[in-house]
Structures are given as structure tokens and as C-alpha cells.
């Protein structure tokens, strides 16, 4: 490999490929750079391109000539209009800049020619193997259908997912005065229009809908002209009498592209060849341009091409992954648009604006306080009260705020008896201001423990110790409720303490106990083999749960949650991956639900009527053949029908070979769907880490309560600090008298966060 790439081939003449060529030539005029583009110079797909101020800042520092040319062309605006149920709501302060895609390409063509880049239009690039042999570096900017990626699929490891909405790129000969979202509820189903200006006399218009709606409306039988005429009629409120136009437009389905690796030898992927992000967050061109910036910088800074390609991927991959998570959230929101149609129009608008999690309650409040306050009033927030501090009634229990300390196993009990550690752990978090504090999973029998350190509620000593903790919470943290989570480990029991080896079996010499499960399946290859629970013994397990529930009631708990998640005993009955039974307690979902519902009914019968019961479920197993999203909704409906006051929606931990899609708030969409489709209150969990997230999710109507675990380990006073940071001092949270002096945030020195890497070396 050469020390520095001198001869460079670029496959694809889109913005990413052209900008990479221009930057690399500008940084080293002696480089020989050739770009192959199979289309003519004026051929382009789509109409307008939106770029962020961050991206423009990088362009300004990297190539002032291109930046000035773009500045002269940009159309700028601040507003977003959402039209829903005939009402138009406007949010301002968003700051967009756009220009025509054709004009962007013309600017980049001109810059490349000025610098001496060899542009070859209407020319297929030579075979990739020949290019790799003849050039020091091959930049594959050949788009979502990349032939380069396909040729080296074994090396790049592509994962391509095709989504279910149909969309078409069109244009209108006038400029919208805002970024506009129009929702049309037609006889065939819901359709949406995304529109934004890209010049003084032109706007991009994207029409999108579910596949089944597209077919029902007859678009699958129309040619392009008929399609655009039909779209113009559907969205007359947005378009007036104006017509739409096309440019090689066709109905498409979006493809999410992810690659395990972005380089192979001296070949590297950029832009859509490496990754795609749904158009609803406007990041395709932005990502491609930023890829070009980073690649050019790394090739300048690093001593070898190999090192540069490694550095490029290390720098860009986290940024792209974050953008793709946001894009997926936005894409899924529009795929499931129908579930939000009954929301009040302002809440619907807020939900749309915050769909990707990039825009949140706090930054929307800073951009447009009037709009945000109107949404809060409509939601029912008392004046000056953030959404997270609005009360919520759960059965007969009123919670003063929407924050839950999630169940967290502490593995610190002795013979199942919670001790001083549990008193301090749960007491500290109760003093910390949460509306509801949950215990760890409290086991209903010695054989139902996960580890020797797990707490129980099957002896009088255990019940008395829990009573001590509950009394402390009620006495010292008035206004905070405390709930108990009851469960049985099933096949995941008889394991070591977490810090000794998560899910690892106890050494043979230790006091192992026999395991029971829905079916005789090991959790891990080295796990103990459980015994399939015979039908005759189901009543014994039910009695263990009801006995523990009686003890919990006597201990004074305000709420009881039945643990039917994470692969423990009751979860093992629910999942088709762990329930292989052939009797009445297996097979169909109705059969798999039978025993968990029997346990729920038995517990509900002995649990006081005025105290709520919730159920935690795993809404997906993150594994092929596991619980489907539709089944999760059906499970939630079944428990609600039997009297569950809320569903605590978690995911996974059912099988050891799961592949979760981790990320911020990654489990919330499952709670959102259950809340909308099952019509039951939900608790959302899963990497909800900030009070801004809690405000955003609650106000958007995606959840009723938010359960946080790790943030409460980091900061037992998380809720109190959230109130202080928002300047809130109302009834939704109360500082203990002893802590009153700490209710203001301490002064700190200045901390300047590093700015994103968008500059080339000087």
C-alpha cells in the first residue's frame, strides 16, 4: 500500500463522490482523480437537498469556494407546519437551509473542473478489480444499489432491510413557506405529504403511505402521470390548484443499508453505498458530504492509506449509527402513523416533531415556547409544571409524577431476607423524588431465586424485613409509592451473583437447586437443564405466588407487579422459543397465555382491590421465531382484560442468542404500540436516560410512566435534580427537609464540550 493515495478513482457522481474528489484534489493538486458517473450531468433524482448548519460549517472551513457558492443559492426558513384533521399548527425556530439538487451538482461539477478533477459522464466505471489494481484508492459512492458493495459483499458484510411504506419524489412550481406535513385520512387509509422549498419558485413534495393503502387506492395500477394527478387531488389543501411534476419519479420502498465494514483493501464506501437514513430526517446528502469531509481529513492526517481508512470508519461509524437510529425511529413513526390519528391535533404535532428523538421537549421549548406551552396546556400540565411532574392515577393509586425507579436486582439478600443494604438502597431512591420506587424481582420460593443473593417473600422473616423498608418509605418519603415485583426464575435460576458471572451456573460444589420451566430447555449451553413443569404442579406454583402476594399486602406495598418478562418462569410460558409444550399450556398464544393468566388471576384475587397490579412483559425476544409485535399487543390486551392496571413493557433476555437493537429509548416503540393498540396504560423502559426524554415521551403520548434504572444507580436523587434543573418546585416532587439546602444546582467551572469534527487540517 502506498504511503499516500496519489491516483484515486471515484465511482458515482453524486454529492458525496464529487465533494470527496474536490476536497482531495484541493488538498493535494498533484493527485490524479477520476470520477465515473453513468448518468448525464443534468440527470438527477429528487429535487431539493436540505443541509444543516453543522454540515455547512464543515464545508465553510474545508472549501470556502463551495461554501460561498452554496450560500448564494440557499433558501432558508424556520417554520414547520403540521396539518391534521383540518387544523394547521405551526412550530418555529427550526432553521432549515435547502437548495435544488441539480444546482448543488452544478456547483460541485464546476469546482471539480476548476481543480482539475477528470469528470466522466455517461460512462460506466471499469470493473472494480481493474480499478483497484490501477489506482491507489477507489472511493465507491455508487449509492444505495452499489455494485461495488455487491461485488465485495463477503468483505463489506451488508445488511439491507426493505421497509413497507411506498413513497414518490415529486416537485411543485411554488415555494412552501414552511416545512409542511399534511395528513390525509382517505377512504383507503392514511396518506402523508412531506413538502419543503428548495428555491424561490420550487418545492420538493414527497407522498408516502403504507403498501396496503397504496394498493387500495389503485396506485399500483396507475402510470406516473395518473399517480401525480391523484396525489395533487388528495392534497389540494397544500397544493391548491397547482400541479405536480416528476423527474424520473417512481413509487419506491425505502431500503436501510448497514455494512459491517466500510473498506476492503484500497476500496472504501461512502454515502448511501455505506449507509442510508430515511428521507424524513433529511440526512442522506448530509451524511455523504460529511463522509467526504472525514475521509479527506483522514487521508491527509494518517501516514498510510490503510490507517486513513481505519480512522475514517472509526470516526464516522458512531455518528452514522446515531443518525440511523434517529432515522429508523422517524421511519417507523410514519409507518405507524395511523395509531396517532385520534390524538388531539397539538399533541399529534408535538409527537410528529419529536418522533426521531433528535428534537425533544426541551429544545422545542427553547425554539418555540408558545407552541410547547400550548401542547402542555392541552395535555393537562398545571401552569409551570413539566410533563414529567404531572400526576397520574394508576387504579386506586395516584402517583405524584411520571418517574419510576425500575426494578434492579441487587443480589444482596441473605436467605432471601432484605437487609440494611436494601433499606438504604430503596430508601435513598424514595427520598430522591420518584413517583414510584420498585423493588428488585422478589422471588416466591427458594427454588424460584435467580441467585443465592436474591430477595424473597416466602417466609415471615422476609415479610417483616420488607415491612421495615416500606414503613421507611411511607414515613420518610411521603408522596412516594413503593411497589413489589414478584417473580420466579424458571430456567434462569441457580446462577452466580451478577459480579461473579452474569447467568453463569453455580459451581457444582455449591448449593444448587433444581430448576423448573415451561419446557426442558437450557438457557445457555452451560446452564442447568430444567425439568418441564408438570400440569399437576402448576397449582403449587400458583400458590407460591398468592402466598407471596399476601405477604406483600401485609408488608404494606402500594403496588404489585407480576414479572412475566426476561425469560423467567412466566415469560418462559409466553414465548414460543421457550414453550414447546403439547398440552393446554403450550402451542397457540392462547395456550401459552393460559398459565401466566391463571397466576395473575390468583394473585389479583388476594391482592387488595384498592391497590393496582401491573405486569412486566418482554414485547420482543430479539430472536427469529420469538414473540411478535402483534402477539405482544395481544398479551397486553389479555392481561388488561383480566384486570392489569398497566403493562410494564420491556424486551428480550428470553434467549441467550438474542440480538437487541440497543440505543437511546430503544424499547419505547413497543410500549407506544401497546398503549395505542391495546388501550392500556404503559410503563416505558430501556435507555431512557434524561429528564428531557421523560418529558418528551410523556407529552407525545407514547407512554404514561417512564422507568429508569441505571440513571438511578448513578444518581439516587435523579428526580429531585431533574426538578432543580428545570426550575420546578411544585407538588410533583418534594425535597426532604434535611436536603433543602441542596435544592439548587451547585456552581461549576466552565466546561466547553469538544466540537464535532468537521474541519480539515489547515
Q: Is 456 within 8 Å of 416 (Cβ atoms)?
A: yes
Q: What does the angle CA 41 – CA 43 – CA 44 come to, to the nearest 5 degrees? A: 115
145: left (phi over 0), alpha (psi -120 to 50) or beta: alpha
Cα separation of 223 and 250, whole Å?
9
The DSSP bridge partners found for residue 199 are 202
d(CA 655, CA 576): 11
Neighbours of 562 (CB within 10 A): 25
Residue 112: strand, helix, or coil: helix
* Helix runs in 135-223, H state only: 147-151, 153-156, 211-216
DSSP state of 332: H
Q: Which cell numbers hold the place of 675?
A: 398503549
The residue annotated as part of the active site, out of 19, 340, 411, 568, is 568
- Rounded to whole angstroms, the Cα distance separating 500 from 91 reads 52
DSSP code for 495: B
Q: Give the DSSP letter of residue 247.
A: S
Expressed in percent and rounded to 5, the helix, strand and coil fractions of the chain are 40, 20, 40
Q: CB count, 10 Å around CB of 423?
A: 15
723 contacts: CB under 8 Å, gap ≥ 6: 389, 433, 729, 732, 733
Grid cell digits, residue 416:
432471601
Alpha-carbon gap, residue 190 to 350, rounded angstroms? 19
How far, in whole angstroms, is CA 215 from its chain's centroid? 29
Q: Any idea which residue has 444499489 for its cell?
A: 145
Residue 435 makes CB contacts below 8 A (sequence gap 6+) with: 392, 399, 400, 401, 402, 403, 404, 480, 481, 705, 719, 732
Would you call 666 a catalytic residue per the annotation? no
Cα(622)–Cα(326) distance, rounded to whole angstroms?
A: 19
Active-site residues: which are they? 568
Amino acid at each position: 500500500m502506498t504511503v499516500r493515495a496519489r491516483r484515486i478513482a471515484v465511482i458515482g457522481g453524486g454529492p458525496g463522490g464529487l465533494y470527496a474528489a474536490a476536497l482531495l484534489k484541493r488538498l493535494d493538486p498533484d493527485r490524479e482523480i477520476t470520477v465515473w458517473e453513468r448518468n448525464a450531468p443534468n440527470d438527477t433524482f429528487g429535487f431539493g437537498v436540505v443541509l444543516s448548519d453543522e454540515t455547512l460549517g464543515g464545508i465553510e472551513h474545508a472549501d470556502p469556494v463551495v461554501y460561498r457558492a452554496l450560500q448564494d443559492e440557499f433558501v432558508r426558513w424556520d417554520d414547520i407546519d403540521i396539518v391534521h384533521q383540518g387544523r394547521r399548527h405551526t412550530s418555529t425556530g427550526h432553521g432549515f437551509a435547502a437548495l435544488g439538487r441539480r444546482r448543488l451538482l452544478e456547483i460541485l461539477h464546476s469546482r471539480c473542473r476548476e481543480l482539475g478533477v477528470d469528470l466522466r459522464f455517461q460512462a460506466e466505471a471499469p470493473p472494480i478489480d481493474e480499478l483497484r489494481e490501477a489506482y491507489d484508492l477507489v472511493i465507491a459512492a455508487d449509492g444505495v444499489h452499489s455494485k461495488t458493495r455487491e461485488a465485495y459483499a463477503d468483505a463489506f458484510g451488508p445488511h439491507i432491510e426493505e421497509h413497507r411504506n411506498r413513497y414518490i419524489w415529486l416537485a411543485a412550481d411554488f415555494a412552501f413557506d414552511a416545512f409542511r406535513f399534511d395528513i390525509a385520512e382517505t377512504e383507503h387509509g392514511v396518506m402523508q405529504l412531506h413538502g419543503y422549498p428548495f428555491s424561490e419558485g420550487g418545492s420538493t413534495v414527497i407522498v408516502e403511505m403504507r403498501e396496503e393503502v397504496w394498493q387500495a387506492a389503485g396506485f399500483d395500477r396507475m402510470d406516473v402521470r395518473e399517480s401525480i394527478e391523484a396525489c395533487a387531488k388528495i392534497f389540494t389543501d397544500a397544493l391548491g390548484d397547482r400541479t405536480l411534476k416528476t423527474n424520473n419519479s417512481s413509487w419506491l420502498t425505502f431500503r436501510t443499508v448497514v455494512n459491517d465494514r466500510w473498506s476492503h483493501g484500497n476500496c472504501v464506501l461512502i454515502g448511501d453505498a455505506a449507509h442510508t437514513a430515511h428521507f424524513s430526517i433529511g440526512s442522506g446528502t448530509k451524511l455523504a458530504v460529511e463522509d467526504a469531509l472525514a475521509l479527506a481529513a483522514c487521508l491527509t492526517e494518517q501516514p498510510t492509506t490503510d490507517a486513513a481508512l481505519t480512522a475514517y470508519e472509526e470516526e464516522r461509524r458512531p455518528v452514522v449509527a446515531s443518525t440511523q437510529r434517529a432515522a429508523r425511529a422517524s421511519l417507523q413513526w410514519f409507518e405507524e402513523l395511523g395509531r396517532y390519528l385520534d390524538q388531539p391535533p397539538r399533541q399529534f404535532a408535538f409527537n410528529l416533531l419529536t418522533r426521531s428523538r433528535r428534537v425533544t421537549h426541551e429544545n422545542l421549548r427553547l425554539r418555540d415556547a408558545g407552541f410547547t406551552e400550548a401542547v402542555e396546556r392541552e395535555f393537562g400540565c398545571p401552569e409551570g409544571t413539566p410533563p414529567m411532574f404531572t400526576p397520574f392515577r394508576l387504579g386506586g393509586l395516584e402517583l405524584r409524577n411520571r418517574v419510576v425507579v425500575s426494578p434492579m436486582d441487587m443480589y444482596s439478600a441473605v436467605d432471601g431476607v432484605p437487609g440494611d443494604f436494601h433499606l438504604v438502597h430503596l430508601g435513598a431512591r424514595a427520598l430522591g423524588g420518584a413517583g414510584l420506587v420498585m423493588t428488585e424481582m422478589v422471588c416466591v420460593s427458594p427454588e424460584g431465586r435467580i441467585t443465592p443473593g436474591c430477595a424473597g417473600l416466602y417466609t415471615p422473616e422476609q415479610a417483616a424485613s420488607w415491612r421495615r423498608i416500606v414503613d421507611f418509605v411511607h414515613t420518610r418519603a411521603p408522596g412516594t409509592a413503593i411497589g413489589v415485583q414478584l417473580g420466579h426464575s424458571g430456567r434462569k435460576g441457580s446462577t452466580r451473583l451478577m459480579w461473579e458471572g452474569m447467568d453463569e451456573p453455580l459451581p457444582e460444589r455449591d448449593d444448587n437447586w433444581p430448576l423448573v420451566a415451561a419446557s426442558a430447555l437450557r438457557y445457555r449451553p452451560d446452564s442447568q437443564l430444567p425439568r418441564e413443569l408438570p400440569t399437576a404442579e402448576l397449582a403449587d406454583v400458583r400458590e407460591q405466588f398468592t402466598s407471596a402476594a399476601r405477604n406483600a399486602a401485609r408488608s404494606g406495598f402500594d403496588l404489585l407487579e407480576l414479572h412475566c418478562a426476561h425469560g423467567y418462569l412466566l415469560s418462559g410460558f409466553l414465548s414460543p422459543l421457550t414453550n414447546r409444550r403439547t398440552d393446554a399450556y403450550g402451542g397457540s398464544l392462547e395456550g401459552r397465555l393460559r398459565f401466566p393468566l391463571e397466576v395473575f388471576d390468583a394473585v389479583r384475587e388476594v391482592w387488595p382491590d384498592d391497590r393496582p397490579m401491573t405486569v412486566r412483559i418482554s414485547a420482543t425476544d430479539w430472536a427469529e421465531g420469538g414473540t411478535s409485535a402483534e402477539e405482544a399487543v395481544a398479551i397486553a390486551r389479555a392481561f388488561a382484560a383480566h384486570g392489569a392496571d398497566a403493562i410494564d413493557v420491556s424486551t428480550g433476555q428470553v434467549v441467550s442468542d438474542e440480538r437487541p437493537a440497543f440505543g437511546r429509548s430503544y424499547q419505547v416503540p413497543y410500549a407506544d404500540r401497546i398503549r395505542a393498540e391495546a388501550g392500556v396504560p404503559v410503563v416505558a423502559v430501556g435507555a431512557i436516560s434524561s429528564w428531557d426524554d421523560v418529558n418528551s415521551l410523556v407529552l407525545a403520548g407514547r407512554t404514561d410512566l417512564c422507568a429508569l434504572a441505571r440513571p438511578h444507580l448513578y444518581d439516587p436523587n435523579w428526580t429531585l435534580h431533574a426538578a432543580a434543573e428545570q426550575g420546578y418546585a411544585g407538588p410533583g416532587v418534594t425535597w426532604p427537609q434535611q436536603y433543602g439546602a441542596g435544592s439548587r444546582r451547585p456552581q461549576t467551572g466552565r466546561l466547553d464540550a469538544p466540537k464535532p469534527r468537521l474541519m480539515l487540517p489547515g
